[in-house]
Amino acid sequence: MAGNQDDDGRSRDAGRPALSGDCVGILAGGGPLPGQVARAIQALGLRPFIVGFLDFADPAVIGPWPHRYIRLAAAGDILSCLRAEGCRDLVLIGPVRRPSFSDLRPDATGARIMARIGRALFSGDDGLLAAIVRVLGEEGFAVHGAHEFLAGSVGRRGVLGMARPDAGAESDIRRGRAVVEAIGRLDIGQGCVVQDGLVLAVEAMEGTDRMLLRAGDCRQPGRPGGVLVKMLKPGQDRRADLPTIGPDTVHRAAAVGLRGIAFQAGATLLTDPQACVAAADAAGLFLVGISAEDGKKLF
């Protein structure tokens, strides 16, 4: 299942993830990836069970699989449901807007878990997700990364479509990588847009789509289009919140006049790799998986 990924040698999975039972639980936010993970689990001869976070999980995606909808903060319900289904292995996948306290209404277990998460509730996303993965581990679950199941959707290193970044675009990619590394260290975000050396927009809480719109508004006419760069935060746990690119991302990037997208190879999920490449080729955008490390070849 999980074949070798050219991800700069950091996590070459030799085969299927090490699992302890026959059921794998999926804690599902939005988007199509929870369904893809379920399909991959089934292909391994295992049983997927999806806990869909209410208001986030897409019924069309998780409907075809054994599932239950539970509020994000109802941690007691979530844990007992997963235990009742015999799922000791878990995958967290799909975006979830950061909850607000007033929305949360945690159940009793949820309140205890929130107390254990403590200050991380107030830190950036990465701190929060890392704390959730840690708590799930303390509760006896093994948390796996979605990329372990979706090897075919992990963006590999190199140029994926027909367009190639030229020297100017490479220079923008390098600057963008340095910017995303800096903002990632501060647990701010995973992306930015650079045009001809100029940082047009930096992603924080608003997400990639809104950043792209803004970058389009700030675009400098009369120069080559900008480049979207998406990277893991340095030291980020890969079992939650991998940078994700879908055909929509490519369409939006093209619509605001960008000339390409660079993503961290081996650490980015393409929700539909073929459709991403087709969209990029149709729009003349490049799509390139890059190394996270400064000293190495860029792609």
* Alpha helices (runs of H) in 44-124, residue ranges in sequence order: 59-62, 75-84, 101-104, 108-117
The smaller minimum CB distance to a copy of itself, of residues 213 and 277, is found at 213
> CA-based angle 101:105:108, to the nearest 5?
120
For 252, the enclosing helix (H) or strand (E) is helix 247-255
- Residue 93 beta carbon to a copy of itself: minimum distance, rounded to whole angstroms: 23
- Residue 250 beta carbon to a copy of itself: minimum distance, rounded to whole angstroms: 22
The smaller minimum CB distance to a copy of itself, of residues 194 and 276, is found at 194
Query: Minimal CA–CA distance to 78: which of 48, 113, 119?
Result: 113
- Residue 103 beta carbon to a copy of itself: minimum distance, rounded to whole angstroms: 7
The smaller minimum CB distance to a copy of itself, of residues 55 and 187, is found at 187
* Alpha helices (runs of H) in 155-243, residue ranges in sequence order: 167-185, 208-218
The smaller minimum CB distance to a copy of itself, of residues 90 and 262, is found at 262
Q: Can you give the binding site for a copy of itself, defined by CB under 8 A?
A: 98, 100-103, 119, 122-124, 178-179, 182-183, 185-189, 192, 196-206, 210, 214, 217-218, 220-223
Q: Can you tell me the distance from the alpha carbon of 254 to that of 181, in angstroms, rounded to the nearest whole number?
A: 24
Judging by DSSP bridges, how do beta strands 227-230 and 191-195 pair with one another?
antiparallel
Q: Can you tell me the distance from the alpha carbon of 254 to that of 209, in angstroms, rounded to the nearest whole number?
A: 12
- Residue 216 beta carbon to a copy of itself: minimum distance, rounded to whole angstroms: 11
The neighbour count for residue 116, using CB atoms within 10 Å, is 12
Q: Can you tell me the distance from the alpha carbon of 203 to that of 173, in angstroms, rounded to the nearest whole number?
A: 15
- Residue 144 beta carbon to a copy of itself: minimum distance, rounded to whole angstroms: 27
In a 10 Å sphere around its CB, with 0-12 CB exposed, 13-18 middle and 19+ buried, how is residue 155 labelled?
buried
Q: 125-138 and 108-117 helices cross at what angle (nearest 10)?
A: 120
- Residue 62 beta carbon to a copy of itself: minimum distance, rounded to whole angstroms: 27
- Residue 77 beta carbon to a copy of itself: minimum distance, rounded to whole angstroms: 22
> CA-based angle 139:144:145, to the nearest 5?
135
